[in-house]
Amino acid sequence: MSSGLTLSVVGGAGLSAQIGKKGTESDLRLYHHVSEGHALTLVEPVGYPEKYGPLLQCLALGDSILLVADILDRGFAESAATADLFGAPVRIVQGETVGDEELRRALRGLRFERAPLLARDPARLRAMLETENAPTKNGPTQVRLDHAFPVKGVGTVALGFVRQGTLRAHESLRLYPSATIVEVRSIQVHDVDVKEAGCGERVGVALRGVEPEELSRGAILAPEGNLRAGRSLNAGAVRKGAYYRGTLAAGRKLQALVGAQLVPAELTSVTAEGFSIELDRDVVWATGDSVLLADLNAPVGPRGAGAGTLV
């Protein structure tokens, strides 16, 4: 098996294209760079800042986040405040026209405000990232899916990332949050047929037992009984988003991001100890996963309302 790293890239138009080769594009745009058994995947949101959902799902897919400061405008401020709600490591790339002091002011109060500033040098960034891998997570297989489509002569093909354990050809797995059991007919890693794939690898999986339209972004392939599925979720104390001006109270209609699943939700209770939400459809999760609340109707300021840990 090869090694790999997935990076969420926010801002910095054209930077990912200078590091990798363009691949899948929808509301997310992916770039790949493969060198000596190491595969780097860069994910960018498409349509942001007009559309907030792609930013959230982009940030959800990365092992780490590359926040590019080319211009210190409202879009950058919201990107930084949203990245602050995720747990992944954040690195800052400083644009050529952005000064140290003004950038530090823009990051003040965020968890990564003192992160080192990296030069906007694609070759040096690529060399640095080629030495890094996704964290190895042992345990039952988990593959988070983000795209699916039909292939003539093959059937349903899903694209995703191995988040835990090892994916093996010909094994049967549950397609969470549904109850559907599917068979992994074959696996490809960057267009090469393989019999198994490990943590951090980007995979294309031919599946038997499901149609492409039955797969939604954020669905997870895992053994039966290893994850939870439902639409009533409870979390610990909410950590309110930096600069968010709205009020979080019972009855508030929001969007909830669980893993890479973005679903309409309603807050059913909010206390100092925690909060509960009811979703419009079932999602897959495990205790300890994070849930992010987004206010898509916020008139001003960041749309990231808050985050918590599922219990």
Task: Provide the pLDDT for residue 4.
Answer: 86
pLDDT tens-place values along the chain, 311 residues long: 457 899 999 998 899 999 999 999 999 999 999 998 899 999 999 999 999 999 999 999 999 999 999 999 999 999 999 999 999 999 999 999 999 999 999 999 999 999 999 999 999 999 999 999 999 999 999 999 999 999 999 999 999 999 999 999 999 999 999 999 999 999 999 889 999 999 989 999 999 999 999 999 999 999 999 899 999 999 999 999 999 999 999 999 999 999 999 999 999 999 999 999 999 999 999 999 999 999 998 887 789 999 999 99
Q: How far apart (Å, rounded) are the C-alpha atoms in residues 267 and 150?
A: 37
Answer left, alpha or beta for residue 252, where phi above 0 means left and psi between -120 and 50 means alpha. beta
Determine whether 100 is exposed, middle or buried from the number of CB atoms within 10 Å of its CB (0-12, 13-18, 19+): exposed
Task: Provide the pLDDT for residue 2.
Answer: 56
* Pairing label, strands 142-151, 155-164: antiparallel
What are 252's two structure tokens?
Answer: 């508030």
The structural domains of the chain, with segments of one domain joined by +, span 3-129, 142-222, 228-309
- Nearest CA to 233 among 177, 287, 163? 287
Are domains 3-129 and 228-309 of this chain identical in fold? no
Q: What strand order describes the sheet that includes 304-309?
A: 228-236, 274-285, 261-270, 253-258, 290-294, 304-309, 239-240
Query: Domain 3-129: which topology?
Result: Rossmann fold (3.40.50)
Second CATH level (architecture) for the domain 228-309? Beta Barrel (2.40)
pTM of the model: 0.95
Q: How far apart (Å, rounded) are the C-alpha atoms in residues 295 and 302?
A: 9
CATH superfamily of 142-222: Translation factors (2.40.30.10)
DSSP state for residue 309 in the 8-state scheme: E
DSSP assignment string, 140-196:
S-EEEEEEEEEETTTEEEEEEEEEES-EETT-EEEEETS--EEEEEEEEETTEEESE
Residue 68 bridge partners (DSSP): 93
